[in-house]
Amino acid sequence: MKEYPMSDWVIGRVLSDKAARLGDKTLVQTREARVSYADMNRQANRFAHGFLNLGLTHGDKVCLFLDNCLEHYFCWFGLNKIGCVDVPINTAYKGQILQYIVNNSEARVLVVDQVYLDRIKFIEDQLDKIEHVVVYRPVGAEKVEVGLNKKVTEMADFSSMPESEPDIEVHYSDLATIIYTSGTTGPSKGVMMSHAHCYYFSWVVAENIGLKSDDLDYTCLPLFHANARLMCSFPCILAEARIAVAPRFSLSAFWSDIQHFQATVFNGLGAIGPLLFNAPPRPEEENNPVRLALLVPTPKDHQAFEQRFGLKVMTTYGMTEINLPIFSRLDEELPPGSCGKGIPAYELKIVDDYDRELPPGQVGELVIRHKIPYTLLSGYYNMPEKTLEAYRNLWFHTGDGMYVDQDGWFYFVDRLKDSIRRRGENISSFEVESVINLHPAVLESAAIAVKDEVMTEDEVKVCVVLKEGSSLTPEELIRFCVDRMPYFHVPRYVEILTELPKTDTGKIRKAVLREHGVSPETWDREKAGIKIKR
């Protein structure tokens, strides 16, 4: 794998170099199309000029509200070539959270799939800085007419732009991307990622899993997350490999896709590993071409997973903010429950509540420092106080409870922060509560994580106190939520309480609620037969 000097740790520069060297070799393919390295670079240049034509300049922010499609790549790379910052947004978002992210990012342009135009129309009057909306219409799709007051450009117009490399200098320390990660005690935070951060994130993956030029890495994870971008797509570019992209994860289609693309590597996040292992055997899984699966977390019995599917399992630990400072080893057997060992580019410690280092075997918080500049987050966008809080005592505090054994293997125990992780998605309890509390019958609420008995992941439970004299059924509350929050935010469990347990200073004692968990008094949406559409 070619190593670049740090001066060339720039996304667009790497793509241009690979295109010149590899030409017509396939880079990305879907079920419908494929794009070579050279074609990707040409399209990125066209999109770069298209965005420049809208008046964008170095450092401007652009929100991408797109599902998995080739055009998502064209936008991402095109913006990075001109020093602009792309802000990918989860396409399940709507209403308040969508409005917040667009405004907080200070984006001047919003790129949106036409199927989501109604969501933009709903919040258009509250989008403070958006000057222009670029509308993507998939090939063969009928045009959707949703009148916007903003200036509108059809993405198809970008295809007539020049193929020449834009003459704009981009530095590895420049901001490349802002990815919004779950809020904990407040709104979602925009993780500022430099070009060097994105480059090294991807380099760590390619190097540690031994990605080769003849590999094909399959992803069914969304391109608005760091995983599909920096644990699949850009590592493949660095390794001169190929990428296969599916619209989304489908248990019924997974092994069929693997066989169709002849994938040799895939990433599994959250529930994907358990779902594959717990599913009945399928003919397509036999004699599959996969040599390695990067699974986070690992299955409880990863050796049984390896034996069933005939592949090697690896794992890692990381966050959008901090890269992947812990990785399993290709040449060492992974101890059960471990997420790997620390890599040399980072300093790692397990500390107590006062940041004093703990001995091996004791659970504390993982804190981290980087040895290579710009390979951790450059801060939380427009949130200097949250940046300082995370970097207290000059170490980045992950908020995750872990321990390390005598041999240097790290073990994740639980999140210390008040966040929820459901089906691979980070959920801010604050954002769930913000919507719940809008209901006129609700006095206050608390959203917590409770364990899914089958998948061993989190489910969302909301504890609600009603205003005096008000009445509200769980079914009515769920109907209220469906129109106002992403599908994966909608609580599975609802419990109506007379009061919430609190500290002397009035803070809700969520630990008490979590200990209570799911009780006979807890209403279960799934048992009630209510299904939520995406």
pLDDT in tens, 373-423: 999 999 999 999 999 999 999 999 999 889 999 999 999 887 776 667 777
Pairing, β 61-65 against β 34-36: unpaired
pLDDT at 507 over 90: no
- Please, what are the domains in the chain? 6-16+31-191 (3.40.50.980), 197-415 (3.40.50.12780), 419-524 (3.30.300.30)
Does residue 183 carry a pLDDT above 60?
A: no
Tokens standing for 321? 């903010």
Residue 455 above 60 pLDDT?
no
- Cα-based angle 424, 430, 436 (whole degrees, multiple of 5): 100
Residue 329: what pLDDT? Answer: 94
Taking residues 502-518, report their average pLDDT: 78
Q: What SS3 state is found at 449? A: strand
> Residue 516 is inside which H or E element, if any?
helix 510-516
pLDDT at 453: 61
pLDDT > 90 in the chain, percent: 79
Residue with tokens 């670079």: 41
In the numeric block, the tokens 């209220």 are attached to: 480
- Could you give the angle at which helices 11-22 and 70-81 cross, rounded to 10 degrees? 120
Q: pLDDT tens digits, residue range 61-87?
A: 999 999 999 999 999 999 999 999 999
For residue 503, the model assigns a pLDDT of 63
Please compute, for residue 410, the number of CA atoms within 13 A of its CA located in the half-sphere on the CB side: 28
Cis peptide upstream of residue 297 (ω within 30 degrees of 0): yes
Does residue 39 carry a pLDDT above 90?
A: yes
- The mean pLDDT of 308-329, rounded to a whole number, is 96
Q: What pLDDT digit, counting tens, does each position of 99-134 carry? A: 999 999 999 999 999 999 999 999 999 998 999 999
Give the pLDDT confidence of 260-302 residue by residue, as tens digits: 999 999 999 877 888 898 888 999 999 999 999 999 988 878 9
Average pLDDT over every residue of 138-160: 92
Single out the residue of 430, 419, 436 nearest to residue 491, CA to CA.
Answer: 436
Q: Say if CB 463 and CB 449 are below 8 A apart.
A: no
| 3-state SS track over 131-199 | CEEEEECCCCCCCCCCCCCCEEEEHHHHHHCCCCCCCCCCCCCCEEEEEEECCCCCCCEEEEEEHHHHH
251 Cβ contact list (under 8 Å, min separation 6): 275, 276, 279
pLDDT reading at 440 higher than 70: yes
Instruction: State how beta strands 493-497 and 523-524 pair.
Output: antiparallel
Over 60: is that where the pLDDT of 371 sits? yes
41 token code pair: 């670079």
Could you tell me the pLDDT band of residue 515, with boundaries at 50, 70 and 90?
confident
Residue 508 — very low, low, confident or very high, per pLDDT cuts 50/70/90?
Answer: confident
| 155 phi and psi angles, rounded to 5 deg | -60, -30
Q: Give residue 162's pLDDT.
A: 97
pLDDT > 60? residue 454: no
Q: Position 315: which residue type?
A: T
Q: Which residues contact 252 (CB under 8 A, 6 or more apart)?
A: none
User: For 330-352, b where at least 16 C-beta lie within 10 A, e where not — what string?
Assistant: eeeebeeebbbbbbeebebbbbe
pLDDT at 505 over 70: no
The greatest distance separating any two alpha carbons of the chain, rounded to the nearest whole angstrom, comes to 72
pLDDT value of position 504: 54
Q: What is the pLDDT of residue 303?
A: 93
Residue 129 has what pLDDT?
Answer: 95
- Residue 184 and residue 433: Cα distance in Å, rounded? 11
The pTM score is 0.86
Least confident of 44-53, 153-162, 178-187, 274-283: 178-187
**Two structure tokens written together for 279:** 């599913």
